[in-house]
Amino acid sequence: MNIVAINGSPRKNGNTALCLEAAGREIQAAGVEFRVFQPGADVRPCMACYHCLNTGSLRCIRNDDGVNDIIAACIGADGILLASPVYHGGIAGGMKCVLDRLMLAAGCGVNQLHHKVGGALCTLRRSGGMETYQQLLGTMDAMEMVLVTSDYWGAVHGADRGEALRDEEGMAVAARLGRNMAWMVKVLHETSLPAPPAAQRPMMNFIR
Ligand SMILES: Cc1cc2nc3c(=O)[nH]c(=O)nc-3n(C[C@H](O)[C@H](O)[C@H](O)COP(=O)(O)O)c2cc1C
């Protein structure tokens, strides 16, 4: 059993990393493996070439910025934890690049993310936490993932590196999210109930 996290911050050892450490400690304490990917600032956007969908390769044609490693890890994971700083009221640009490519390559077509456990966290100085948190959840929501929450919204405050540690409540929310995600991964692993199968739905482009 394993949970993969994506840290959408370009900044090493920043507040988002600290939140993931708090969640990760709980995940590992529950006996679930935890791995964080932080693609950084050089990650590239989706080119809308649709090569991933047209070929069913489950990979992006762009192979030079580590996103294919993230896609493969997410496909192999039991849970995915998305964490991003708030940038101008929404997710950071690098995170958007990763999510566009991950969701198109792995989530559209035959959905490889189906029924994986999902959780979200964001970090921010002051405003835009709810929008960003909802944006992260909404991405996974559309992939038929099993969304797990904490006991409050996943927005942790802090501007300079390390400040998030002073948001004790936020760090507790992050830790509890990790605990709940690990628990849900184990619940799904243990159940003998058959899961509803993934199925392709009809696609309507609003064209007559
Ligand atoms: C380009 C940019 C835009 C930002 N926009 C916001 C914002 O809209 N709202 C906010 O509260 N904080 C904003 N921040 C602050 C970051 O969200 C905050 O410093 C966060 O903790 C950074 O996470 P990190 O340390 O993991 O990189 C912004 C920071 C940058 C660099």
Residue in this structure with the two tokens 């992939």, named with its chain if needed: 143
pLDDT above 80: residue 170:
yes
17 CA closest ligand 1 atom index: 26
Q: Given a cut of 90, is residue 204 above it in pLDDT?
A: no
**SS3 of 2, please?**
strand
- What pLDDT is stored for residue 200 in this prediction? 77
pLDDT in tens, 65-102: 999 999 999 999 999 999 999 999 999 999 999 999 99
Phi, psi angles (nearest 5°) of residue 2 = -150, 150
Ligand 1 centre from 35 Cα, in Å? 23
Q: What is the pLDDT of residue 24?
A: 98
Distances 188 to 12, 55, 107 between C-alpha atoms, Å:
33, 31, 20
If one counts every other C-beta atom within 10 angstroms of the C-beta of residue 14, the result is 20
Average pLDDT in the 110-119 region?
A: 95
Q: How far is the CA of 17 from the centre of ligand 1 (A)?
A: 13
Spacing, Cα 86 to ligand 1 middle (Å): 5
103: which DSSP letter?
A: I
Taking a C-beta distance cutoff of 8 angstroms, is the pair 8, 187 a contact?
no
Domains defined along the chain, listed by start: 2-190 (3.40.50.360)
Q: What is the pLDDT of residues 129-161, one digit of tens each?
A: 999 999 999 999 999 999 999 999 999 999 999
Could you tell me which residue, 15 or 198, shows the higher pLDDT? Answer: 15
The single-letter DSSP state of residue 198 is P
Average pLDDT of the residues of the chain: 96
Rounded CA-CA distance 31/24 in Å is 11
Task: Please list, residue by residue across 105-137, b when 16 or more beta carbons sit within 10 angstroms of its beta carbon and e when fewer do.
Answer: bbbbbebbbbbbbbbbbbbbeeebbebbbbbbb
**Measuring CA to CA, which residue among 108, 111, 21, 100 is closest to residue 67?**
100
List all residues whose CB is within 6 A of at least one atom of ligand 1.
9, 11, 14-17, 85-89, 123-128, 158-159, 161
Cα–Cα distance, 125 to 136 (Å, whole number) = 18
pLDDT band at 197 (very low <50, low <70, confident <90, very high): confident
> For the segment 33-45, what is each residue's pLDDT rounded down to a tens digit?
999 999 999 999 9
Can you tell me the mean pLDDT for 8-26? 98
Mutation test residue for ligand 1: of 121, 124, 156, the one with most atoms within 8 Å of CB: 124
pLDDT tens-digit readout, 41-65? 999 999 999 999 999 999 999 999 9
3-state secondary structure of 118: strand
Query: Do residues 151 and 173 make contact, with C-beta atoms less than 8 angstroms apart?
Result: yes
- Is it the case that residue 118 has pLDDT exceeding 90? yes
Distance from Cα 45 to the centre of ligand 1, integer Å: 20
**pTM of this prediction?**
0.97
Report CA(126)–ligand 1 centroid distance (Å): 8
**pLDDT score at 202:** 84
Angstrom distance (rounded) from CA 177 to CA 153: 10
| pLDDT band with cut points at 50, 70 and 90 for residue 208 | low
Residue of the CA atom closest to atom 16 of ligand 1? 124
